[in-house]
Structure 1
Amino acid sequence: MFDARLSSPQPAREETRIVFWLCTLVCVGAAYISYAGLTNTWDRIGVPIMSALYGLTALCLWLFPARMNTIIFAALVPTSLYIQGGVYVAAQDNTVTGLFKLASGSQFMPVFYIGAFVALRRGAPMICWLHYAGLLGTYLIHYGLTLQNSLSSQTAMNAHVLLVLLVAQPACIVALHYITALKGRLRATELASHQSKERFLAMLSHEIRSPLQAMLGSIDLLALKAQTPPERRAVDRIRTAASQLDTHLRDVTEYTRLENPAWQLQTASVDLPALAQEVCDTYLPQAQSKRLDIVCEWPQPDALALHDVWTDGGRIRQILSNLITNALKYTVNGRITVRVGLDDTDDATARIEVIDTGIGIPPQDQQRIFEPYVRLDDQRAGNVEGSGLGLAVVKRLVERLGGEVSLRSEVGQGSCFSVSLPLHA
């Protein structure tokens, strides 16, 4: 059996995950520094507090990822106060030790600014400029506007180091602000482009579906008047062609909509086994017309978590529909099994499998079938119609739901499409 696995989390989820791990690293690093030993009272108090703060921040990000901006802002404010306090203490120490503390502490300033602009969607410039204003106030309190050559040699050296830091930091803040603004404009342009494309497709869909519905109505009237078998076959061919056109149009519209970064999920509590059974019942007549069996199984009846999955039920239905439709196309005889359960290695992950006894997929094609407009033609399955977008839509939807889709298949033995989804999207 061959396996092809595809996965790509959505951007917002990936961003939150990166920030979560950064906070975790800060927590662990601060704890290690505290354990290794600190030289002054300010650090002996502040570093353990920073370790606990970022440990709590990482926990909050894990539990409430949608509130990342508020959580990070609440962490950066005491971080700024701690850094400014450290600079204030070091500036008071007019010795080589104070100079070393000022120089070593300077490496955290760009990290603070970069962290603010990366993690915060709003408020990064404000907190960075306020932080800079606090550092500037520290310099004025200790050294005022006095010329450095009027100070003692060690004090002048400390003042020079702090002044160099103050001169360089505005450039860093302005550069980060510009990059963030440029990124925002690029994103706005991308969203506008997608919205324009969606409006065009919506208009095109309306203009095509209106005459298409009229055609389907006329076909139904022709079917009533068809008397001979050749006439009925001709009407059936027309109806099939019209239905295929409607399906192709719906696939193209949905795939284009999924490319929009502003596309959002509609999450709610979903009974996954019940939803899977409902979808299977919908396709039962189509399966019976091809003399196929379609069954839905959930081998873990005691897994209560499957009956309360926080996800987008409409998108789960669409994923199942596309996978079952694909199985029906390429299965000549046998059965289609839809299996719902918990992942064998992770109880926080649901697994949905659509297993068929169809023609199977060659190893060289198992990756590309998830690409748009790719359709496998095999004489064993007969004349298979489709836009080649069904599995591409499945892949995009699974990614947006924070999961992954995989494939196990062997030529002549059938295929198993497996979708892993978090119980709480």
Structure 2
Amino acid sequence: MFDRRSFLGSAAVAGGLLPLPEALSAQALAPVPLPPPDLYGKNEDAYWAALRRQFLIPADVVNLNVGTVGSSPRPVLKAIFDGFEQTEQMTQAGSEDYPIWGYGSWDDYRKPFADFMGAQVDQMAILRNCTEANSYIANGFDMKAGDEVLISDEEHGSGEMPWMLRQRRYGMVVKKFAMPKPPKSPADILNRINDAITPRTKIFFVSHISTATGVVLPIKDIAALARSKGIVSAVDGAHAPGMMKVDLNDLGCDLYTGSMHKWLFATKGTGFLYLRDEAIMDRVWNTIATGGYDDPTRKADRYMQIGSSCIPTLMGLNAAVAFANAIGIDRIEKRNRMLADHIHAEMMKRGAESWTSPDPALRCAIATVNVPPVQRMELQDWLWKNHKVRIRGGNPSRLRLATPYFLSKSDIDRFLGLFDAFRKMKGVA
């Protein structure tokens, strides 16, 4: 029988690294019971504290940067390890079955995630990350020189740069609208988009949740606006899966991309591309191609034809979906919002400038604040190196504070106390 601890230790030695402590791999795979279902109704704080023990993050570490990457909980790690143990035995049932997923449809892995996101399996392609999915759209969407894509000035590099590359190569035009900072209402955003439309606008590309400010854009209204103008709507949903409830078919957008390694806490190297119907699939060319890419009967599956990849990754994804479903996405979203509202309100008391929104409906689990003259990188390094608190943001003084459900209020209050101490140390009133 495959011995994980022996394997991890010998692999580390073979790679020229120090052997992992034996307890480390044992800890990662040790089962920790989920809280009993009735604990939530009896004691919410105890319920979330019990869920915190599913994560390997040490008790003295406060991670306010899930916006960059999440930590996979024990059930996900176990599914990945078990997946490697199973697939690497090379005992698959069929003579043509191997532990790769670059050529099959893999509905067993697509369907649970599609159900979780309010989509049909034929609309969903599981890819390797959101960057890959965004590049599929930017490189493959049917456009000619002079046609315009309308994007916000807050898009992540993996959303903006594929369009900039295509503009440089083929002469289509990237046009930006400025997001209000902060938007006071959905209309603030919709009006900016509407005013930027021209007869050459062929596609909107906007984030569901801004990576810079945490603003939750009114995607359903944006999709309706696009449809009324005969424009395609594409959404970068890198932050949404696992942070809040998403029903893709209800939103009405034509294209949607995302990551599962952030708020869903799935395997690193998982992303997706949603395509609403066959009409939009006919307008997005594959830009990675192998056998099967040109078979329209495969629908969204043909965008998964990327060559060899990793089945245990998908096993970890299924475990992450099951973990979130066991908690309940409505419960997760409520907790995320409560924690974000708390940290946002406390930072406002400290004189911070909100870049998220004064409207709680336009934020979920990210609160972005501007705190001059505090220097973001100086604070960020000081917090991590001296106090094991992770944050992120933008220079010179913007802090992006992410509040995953497993944090406690005492974790947030610890950050707030350290923020106050840093300002005092720097002589900032």
TM-score by length of 1: 0.23
Higher normalized helix content (fraction of residues)? 1
Q: Greater relative contact order (Cα 8 A, min sep 6): structure 1 or 2?
A: 2
**Which of the pair has more CA radius of gyration?**
1
TM-score by length of 2: 0.22
